[in-house]
Amino acid sequence: MKNQAGQYTTEYEILELLKLKLYQRLHGLAPVLGAVEFRIEEPKQPEPNGGVEQESADRACAGFRIDGRVFYLSPSRIRSDFLKDSDFLCRELLHMLSHCLLGHPFEAWRVEREERKVWESDCDEKAWALTEELWGKSIPEKPPVDDHSFWGQKPDEREKAFWQGQGEKLLRSGNPRGKRKAGTAKRHRTRQLVPAAGQRGDYRSILRGLSSYREDSRLNLDEFQYSWYTYGLEIYGNMPLIEPLEYSEERKIADLVIVIDTSGSCEKELVRVFLEETRGILEQDRLFFRSFCLHLIQCDNQIQRDDCIHSREEFEKYLEHLEIRGGGGTDFRPAFARIEELRQQGELRDLQGILYFTDGCGWYPKKEPDYQVWFVMLQGHFDSIDMPDWVHRLVLEEKRA
Question: What average pLDDT does this structure show over 277-302?
Answer: 83
Render pLDDT for 84-121 as a digit per residue (tens, 0 to 9): 888 888 999 999 999 888 888 888 888 888 888 898 98
Task: Choose between 14 and 173: higher pLDDT.
Answer: 14
- CA pair distance 212, 60, nearest whole angstrom: 48
Task: Choose between 237 and 86: higher pLDDT.
Answer: 86
Burial pattern 103-133, b for ≥16 Cβ within 10 A else e, equals bbbbebeebeeeebeebbeebbeebbebbbb
CA contacts within 13 A on the Cβ side of 308: 10
Q: How far is CA 205 from the centre of its chain?
A: 21
- CA pair distance 282, 355, nearest whole angstrom: 13
Question: What average pLDDT does this structure show over 245-270?
Answer: 78
- pLDDT at residue 227 in the model: 54
- CA pair distance 380, 384, nearest whole angstrom: 9
Helix (H) or strand (E) holding 293: strand 288-299
Render pLDDT for 138-163 as a digit per residue (tens, 0 to 9): 888 888 899 888 787 666 677 777 78
* CA dihedral sign of residues 224, 228, 234, 239: negative
pLDDT for residue 214 is more than 70? no
309 strand-pairing partners: 294
Render pLDDT for 155-188 as a digit per residue (tens, 0 to 9): 667 777 778 777 776 665 544 443 333 333 333 3
Task: Choose between 215 and 304: higher pLDDT.
Answer: 304
Range scoring the smallest mean pLDDT among 149-158, 245-254, 294-303, 339-348: 245-254
Question: Other CB atoms closer than 10 Å to residue 291's CB: what's the count?
Answer: 11
Question: Hey, is 349 helix, strand or coil?
Answer: coil
Question: What average pLDDT does this structure show over 220-240?
Answer: 55
What pTM was estimated for this model as a whole?
0.50
- pLDDT at residue 335 in the model: 97
Domains of the chain by start residue, with CATH:
9-172 (no CATH), 203-234+247-400 (3.40.50.410)
CA-wise closest residue to 104 among 40, 168, 150, 38: 150
- State the first-to-last Cα distance of the chain, in angstroms, to the nearest integer: 50
Complete edge-to-edge strand list for the sheet that includes strand 70-73: 37-40, 70-73, 64-67
